[in-house]
Amino acid sequence: MVYQAPLPPEYAERSDEELTARIAAARQRLGPRLVILGHHYQRDEVIAFADFTGDSLKLSQIAAEQTQADYIVFCGVHFMAETADILTGPRQQVILPDLSAGCSMADLADIDQLEEAWRILEEHAGAPITPITYVNSTAAIKAFVGRHDGACCTSSNAKMVLEWALRGAEPGGDPHAGNKVLFLPDQHLGRNTAYALGWPLDSMVVYDPNVVNGGLLPEELRAARVILWAGHCAVHQLFKIEQIKPLRASGEPWNVIVHPECTWEVCQQADYVGSTEYIIKTVREAPPGSYWAIGTEVHLVGRLMKMLPDRRIRSLAGPQCSCATMYRIDLKHLCWVLENLAAGEVVNQIAVDEETKRWSRVALERMLALRPAQPVSAK
């Protein structure tokens, strides 16, 4: 995690009302030179300032389209700001209001571990391997993947990207034909997506970077089709099948909708599985009076409850399902970066070095070239 120095007292000690007014004034001064992007997990008071909101895929595409803007302030987490920097032009600067807004899942895969894993897999897998990285990963991991003929994916397009990566291989087909996949860092998104494509659970193994040889025997690697990195999201791990059972037993018509970072067991019990954008679209388009238990970050669930009071909406688990790092972006930090920008000072710039940028862009562009965004269910 990157260190964020404490803010000067003139920000730390101000009320929300004052900060809101100052943010609005700084934003006006910056005009079209500024674009604010907001991920769906942001606090309400921050998302209120976003010019665009979205899931990871939508926001990375929007960032790439903002060619008129000098500054892109990303209200989200570190890997999202890096992705925006990779996809925007050399003149543009991307700013993350709080540098310590990382992603605990992205932190579970570092480049040295991946290089070591690759060496082991190349030695034992017995077939070409395509690396696929979820965008929730560092730019260095994305660059490795780009350099090794792989691609990025998001929760909106993982099915399509995995299908492409497993080209030549078919569930139930010749076990020696086609490519294998190393999917990182989220084992759950990888497992849920491969299973939805027809691959049985016994065609997948979990590679643990903290154990010698990933904790796998050479014959297990040879037999596997999909090698899943032992990463996960701490927030989405909190959703359990025990929370679904009472809803089913209640006699009430609950629909259960979850993010594909939830475990395979939870996704199997859910009625719908998809990205944050998919969840919003599905609940919004549902009829008034319908019942929704949602398995994703609680700020998004809370916003849907306010936006759609005529539906019965609840979190599948409860208020503990909050992403602590997304929550670090607050009005104080937003005000601080915007007032500095308005005064001609760039603070908290996220700048990926040129070589890493070049290859991570290859991985991202391979993903974007496959097909346009469509928030499909991973089920």
Name the site residues for ligand SF4 (rule: CB under 6 A).
Answer: 77, 103-105, 136, 233-235, 261, 297, 323, 325-326
Residue 178 or residue 185: which is nearer to ligand SF4 going by CB?
A: 185
Report the C-alpha gap between 89 and 202 in whole angstroms: 44
35 binds, among ligand SF4, ligand 13P, none (CB under 5 to 8 A by kind): none
By CB under 6 A, residue 56 contacts ligand 13P: yes
Q: Which of 136, 157, 325, 348 binds ligand 13P (CB under 6 A)?
A: 136
Question: Measured from the CB of residue 155, what is the shortest distance to ligand 13P in angstroms?
Answer: 4
Kindly report whether the peptide bond that precedes residue 185 is cis, defined as omega within 30 degrees of 0: yes
For residue 177, what are its two tokens? 């034909």
Would you state the torsion angle of the CA atoms of residues 118, 124, 129, 131, taken in this order, to the nearest 10 degrees? -30
Which residues fall within 8 angstroms of residue 306, CB to CB, at 6 or more apart? Answer: 44
By CB under 6 A, residue 82 contacts ligand 13P: no
Question: Measured from the CB of residue 105, what is the shortest distance to ligand SF4 in angstroms?
Answer: 4
Binding mask 291-320 for ligand 13P (x = CB under 6 A): ------------------------------
By CB under 6 A, residue 154 contacts ligand 13P: yes
Strand partners, 133: 152, 184
Report the C-alpha gap between 225 and 222 in whole angstroms: 8
Binding mask 247-286 for ligand 13P (x = CB under 6 A): ------------x-x-------------xx----------
Residue 275 or residue 315: which is nearer to ligand 13P going by CB?
A: 275
Sheet of 151-153: strand order equals: 151-153, 129-134, 180-184, 226-229, 204-207
Residue 136 or residue 269: which is nearer to ligand SF4 going by CB?
A: 136
Q: Which long-range contacts (CB under 8 A, 24 or more apart) does 209-214 make?
A: 209/109, 209/113, 209/114, 209/116, 209/117, 213/120, 214/117, 214/120
For residue 304, what are its two tokens? 């849907």
Residue 323 or residue 337: which is nearer to ligand SF4 going by CB?
A: 323
275 binds, among ligand 13P, ligand SF4, none (CB under 5 to 8 A by kind): ligand 13P
Residue 291 or residue 327: which is nearer to ligand SF4 going by CB?
A: 327
Residues 156 and 55: beta-carbon distance below 8 Å:
yes
Give one DSSP letter per residue of 312-378, joined into a string: EEEESS-TT---TTGGG--HHHHHHHHHHHHTT---SB----HHHHHHHHHHHHHHHHHS-------
Residue 111 or residue 234: which is nearer to ligand SF4 going by CB?
A: 234
370 binds, among ligand SF4, ligand 13P, none (CB under 5 to 8 A by kind): none
At 247, is the secondary structure helix, strand, or coil? helix
Residue 185 or residue 214: which is nearer to ligand SF4 going by CB?
A: 185
Question: Measured from the CB of residue 361, what is the shortest distance to ligand SF4 in angstroms?
Answer: 22
By CB under 6 A, residue 186 contacts ligand 13P: no
Residue 42 or residue 88: which is nearer to ligand SF4 going by CB?
A: 42
Residues 107 and 129: beta-carbon distance below 8 Å:
no
Residue 38 or residue 214: which is nearer to ligand 13P going by CB?
A: 38
By CB under 6 A, residue 360 contacts ligand 13P: no
By CB under 6 A, residue 322 contacts ligand 13P: no
For residue 144, what are its two tokens? 């490795």
Angle 32-33-38 from CA coordinates, rounded to 5°: 80
Question: Measured from the CB of residue 115, what is the shortest distance to ligand SF4 in angstroms?
Answer: 23
Decide the pairing of beta strands 34-39 and 71-75: parallel
Residues in touch with ligand 13P (CB under 6 A): 40, 55-56, 136, 154-155, 233, 259, 261, 275-276
